[in-house]
């Protein structure tokens, strides 16, 4: 007896799986724990957000008028302090009438950084642009060749933060790769040197490294021969960051199977060719989250240079408000402002890292 095939007509699913109600049911009230969490979060929001909104928006004073701000103290935010002091916060003690210079310098450097993050632009000309832009940056900041001289003591605010972070990262990253490779070297002298370097630097706080760079180092130099404080601090930050980065990179190196290096050897690749074409691309791809973690930390750690009298963003805020009794009470608003500035940069870095991870994951996707 032959079986007869009777097709079943398609029917809609019994439970709706699309639309807002279905989404909420699945994601917010999917199980008892999730329901409790949702209710608690809504309660917290209802409790906290309205007063915050009252303070930050409804009762806020935007006019740069100290008396009005004083009157609203405690009930409303004084955004006027930022309207009044933003130049000082962003550019520190840089001469007011030359302010276009750090503005332009920071736009140039940030623009170049953004461009450098995009793979399409990884061409030989990018290196030339860097070689051209870096001197222009320092020329704009420092003067000379027709521009008034501004000593590095007076550099400050966001340009200083970005500069220290950019060059710190730019020098620390290659150095960290060399140190990580050195720690795995067959040559005991190189290995010991790298281990000593990492352990010594990791054993001390960044503040003490900066202190040494700023105050101790000149004592060993002939009077007046000591390099600029900014340069010394930059070297300090670079050495400090590289030690941490080196350990992250080493973690990646350890994850590469020995067979990869052996295969490269049988193909006739030299040590450096093997590291460059085979080992590092794979090792660094594995540790992108850790590397970006360090980059973000470097960006924020630049705020510590305040203690050696370099007023980057955080330092410039203190300088701006402490020097003016009228505005001194409104530090919270000032801090919220620089928090936002820091957040924009750090969030951008973190999103970029996710994007890089996704790109590099391509070869692993089946």
Partner 1 sequence: MSATAAPIIVFDKVNKWYGDNFHVLRDIDLQVQQGERIVICGPSGSGKSTLIRCVNRLEEHQQGRLVVDGTELADDVKAIERVRKQVGMVFQQFNLFPHLTVLENLTLSPTWVGKMPKKDAEEKAMQQLKRVRIAEQANKYPLQLSGGQQQRVAIARALCLTPKIMLFDEPTSALDPEMIKEVLDVMVELANQGITMLCVTHEMGFAKAVANRVIFMDQGQIVEENNPHDFFDHPKSERTKDFLSKILGH
How far apart are alpha carbons 297 and 345 in whole angstroms? Answer: 12
Between residues 201 and 356, which has the closer beta carbon with respect to partner 1? 356
How far apart are alpha carbons 104 and 320 in whole angstroms? Answer: 22
Question: 164-169 long-range CB contacts below 8 Å, 24 or more apart?
Answer: 164/233, 164/234, 164/237, 164/302, 164/305, 164/312, 165/295, 165/298, 165/299, 165/302, 166/109, 166/113, 167/234, 167/238, 168/234, 168/237, 168/238, 168/241, 168/298, 168/302, 169/241, 169/295, 169/298
Q: Among 274, 256, 254, 255, which Cα is nearest to 264's? A: 274
Shortest Å, Cβ 284 to partner 1: 10
Between residues 61 and 287, which has the closer beta carbon with respect to partner 1? 287
Shortest Å, Cβ 361 to partner 1: 11
Between residues 162 and 279, which has the closer beta carbon with respect to partner 1? 279
Between residues 147 and 265, which has the closer beta carbon with respect to partner 1? 265
Between residues 351 and 359, which has the closer beta carbon with respect to partner 1? 359
How far apart are alpha carbons 64 and 340 in whole angstroms? Answer: 20
Write out the residues near partner 1 by the rule CB under 8 A: 257, 259-260, 262-269, 273, 277-278, 281-282, 285, 360, 362-364, 366
Shortest Å, Cβ 282 to partner 1: 5
Report whether 87 contacts 314 (CB < 8 A): no
Shortest Å, Cβ 290 to partner 1: 18
Shortest Å, Cβ 350 to partner 1: 23
SS3 content of the chain, % helix, strand, coil (to 5): 75, 0, 25
Between residues 123 and 149, which has the closer beta carbon with respect to partner 1? 123
Torsion sign (Cα): 148, 154, 156, 161: positive
Shortest Å, Cβ 356 to partner 1: 14
Shortest Å, Cβ 94 to partner 1: 45
> Any residues with CB less than 8 A from the CB of 68 and at least 6 apart, and which?
61, 80
Between residues 114 and 265, which has the closer beta carbon with respect to partner 1? 265
Four-point Cα dihedral 331, 337, 341, 343, nearest 10: 90
How far apart are alpha carbons 44 and 149 in whole angstroms? Answer: 54
């Amino acid at each position: 007896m032959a079986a007869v095939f009777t097709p079943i007509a398609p029917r809609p699913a019994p439970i709706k799986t699309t639309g807002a109600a279905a989404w909420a049911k699945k994601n917010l009230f999917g199980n008892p724990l999730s329901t409790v969490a949702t209710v608690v979060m809504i309660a917290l929001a209802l409790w906290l957000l309205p007063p915050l909104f009252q303070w930050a928006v409804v009762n806020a004073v935007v006019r740069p008028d100290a008396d009005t701000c004083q009157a609203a103290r405690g009930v409303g935010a004084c955004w006027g302090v930022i309207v009044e002091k933003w130049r000082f916060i962003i550019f520190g003690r840089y001469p007011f009438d030359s302010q276009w210079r750090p503005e332009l310098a920071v736009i140039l450097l940030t623009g170049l950084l953004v461009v450098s993050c995009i793979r399409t632009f990884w061409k030989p000309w990018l290196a030339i642009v860097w070689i051209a832009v870096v001197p222009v940056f320092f020329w704009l900041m420092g003067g000379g060749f027709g521009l008034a001289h501004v000593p590095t003591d007076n550099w400050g605010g966001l340009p200083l933060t970005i500069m220290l972070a950019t060059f710190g990262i730019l020098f620390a990253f290659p150095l960290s790769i060399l140190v990580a490779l050195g720690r795995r070297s067959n040559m005991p002298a190189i290995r010991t040197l790298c281990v000593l370097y990492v352990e010594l630097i990791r054993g001390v706080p960044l503040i003490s490294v900066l202190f040494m760079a700023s105050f101790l180092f000149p004592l060993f130099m002939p009077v007046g021969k000591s390099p600029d404080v900014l340069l010394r601090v930059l070297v300090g930050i670079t050495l400090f960051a590289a030690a941490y980065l080196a350990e992250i990179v080493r973690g990646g190196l350890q994850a590469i199977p020995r067979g990869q290096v052996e295969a490269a050897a049988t193909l006739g690749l030299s040590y450096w060719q093997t590291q460059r074409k085979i080992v590092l691309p794979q090792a660094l791809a594995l540790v992108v989250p850790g590397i970006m973690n360090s980059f973000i930390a470097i960006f924020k750690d630049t705020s510590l240079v305040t203690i050696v009298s370099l007023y980057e963003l955080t330092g410039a805020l203190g300088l701006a408000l402490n020097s003016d009794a009228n505005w001194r009470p409104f530090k919270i608003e000032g801090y919220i402002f620089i928090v936002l500035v820091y957040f924009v940069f750090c969030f951008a870095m973190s999103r970029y890292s996710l994007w890089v991870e996704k790109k590099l994951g391509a070869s692993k996707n089946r």
